[in-house]
Amino acid sequence: MADVPVLVCTAGELSGKRIPVPEGGIGIGRSPENAVVIHDEGVSRYHARLLFENGSLWLQDAGSRNGVFVNGARVTGHKALKVGDSMTIAEHTFELRWQDEDSIEAGVRPAQPSSTRSLGPTRAPSADATDAGDGGKSKRGRWFWPFS
pLDDT tens figures, 93-127: 999 998 865 444 444 333 333 344 445 544 443 34
What's the predicted TM-score (pTM) here? Answer: 0.66
Phi and psi of 52, rounded to 5°?
-125, 105
d(CA 60, CA 57): 10
pLDDT tens figures, 71-86: 999 998 899 999 999 9
Residues of the chain with pLDDT > 90: what percent? 54
Q: Are 4 and 103 in contact (CB under 8 A)?
A: no
Q: What is the largest CA-CA distance in the chain?
A: 56
Smallest CA-to-CA distance from 114 within 102, 127, 132 is with 102
